[in-house]
Amino acid sequence: MKTARILVIAGSDSGGGAGIQADIKTITMLGGHAMTAITAVTAQNTLGVSAVHPVPTEMVLAQIDAVIVDIGVDAVKIGMIGSAFTATQVALRLASLDVPIVFDPVMVATSGAALADEATIAAFGLLMDLATLATPNLPELARLTGEEDPIAAGLALVSRHGCAVLVKGGHEEGDALADALIEEDNLTSWQGQRIATNSTHGTGCTLASAIAFHLGCGDRLARAVEQARHFVRMALHEAPGLGQGQGPLGQQSVRLDTSSGCGPLPRLNQVTVTGKDYAAMVAFYRAIGLIQIVDAPTNNYARFQTGGGATFSVQIDPEEATSESTAVYFECDDLDQRVERLARAGMAFEHGPRDQPWMWREARLRDPAGNTVFLYKAGEARRFPPWRMDDE
């Protein structure tokens, strides 16, 4: 399966919320390979930016050249550019590179600190002339065009530079949000509800990098934007709540909610087993460590979240018989300690942790309905045992 190679040209955020750090986390979680040309080093956290040190233009270009000549590039994301001279030279260097380019014209940090001077903003036009897509937020869009109406501003940029423009509604007031992708011959819009969180530092960087990843995988532009929006929303839901100000997103916690890799395989979402006693089944699966996320006893249904993001459900049906041929496996990094703790609490195991010929270590028990349950630890042998078939 092909790995998308994404070159990110942007600044470093010491707090890890935005910039290169957000870009790398996003591309990695989506299944791509992130490469970087750092344009500036910033000292910042969730409260603001305290210092900015631009990287010399020749060093920015050297990073770009080193990546292109050896690894190759499937798409480029440009964020904080550092200086007008760097913007001009980067545009010249990328002109011969025939890959999608996503330009996020970073001017101001989430905290309000300026990240681009007037000369640098004036040079943004050279990058938009090359870009497949520009992703300014509403204040940036107004600054670039002088237009108050976002759609009129987006149309002006499309007409002026030939790139598509994503008009992002995140800076609008109210709970309803709308984003619009304006292309030369098409307009696509998405609606959604605002996610109540103070952890929004890096949303623009994350969105642009996710779009670049999907374009690098060969997705059409509208599809790439749709997928990237979903990733950002999931990362907002997963925000860890760090810092005293505008906190970072939770890219590292997004699992199985967005496609990963080019040509994604079907992903396992959930497994459902049948039981006869709702309370006993819920107690059992909570005891082994699952997190209950649906509690619907009147509908004879409970649902649990696992550590990897997939879910596990119990459907109560007194008339349905369980099958000896069905087995459910839960992977546990702390297998031996977990089994010992459960056994001390009175849970009966058919056998404790054992090393198996197939290189897994397993413990076996049954849930209250008689379904076979394995707690196991496999390490790299789970996905890469010696007998694994080569990917086609």
Mean pLDDT of the chain: 90
Active site residue 204: yes
Return the pLDDT at 262. Answer: 44
In this structure, what token pair is assigned to residue 240?
Answer: 């860890």
Give the residue-averaged pLDDT of 56-77.
98
Active site residue 272: no
* Residue in 32, 168, 169, 258 annotated catalytic: 168
Active site residue 203: yes
Active site residue 205: yes
* Residue in 26, 36, 46, 203 annotated catalytic: 203
* Residue in 11, 15, 31, 202 annotated catalytic: 202
Give the residue-averaged pLDDT of 162-183.
86
Active site residue 202: yes
* Residue in 15, 17, 32, 204 annotated catalytic: 204
Give the residue-averaged pLDDT of 73-77.
98
* Residue in 15, 19, 163, 205 annotated catalytic: 205
Residue 235's contacts (CB-CB under 8 Å, 6 or more residues apart) are: 26, 206, 249, 250, 251, 253, 254
Give the residue-averaged pLDDT of 344-357.
95
Strands 49-54, 33-44: pairing kind: antiparallel
* Residue in 200, 258, 311, 372 annotated catalytic: 200
Active site residue 145: no
Locus of tokens 């109560």:
316
Give the residue-averaged pLDDT of 14-22.
96
* Model pTM score: 0.82
CB crowding 182-218: b at 16 or more within 10 Å, else e = bbeeeebebeeeebeeebbbbbbbbbbbbbbbbbbbe
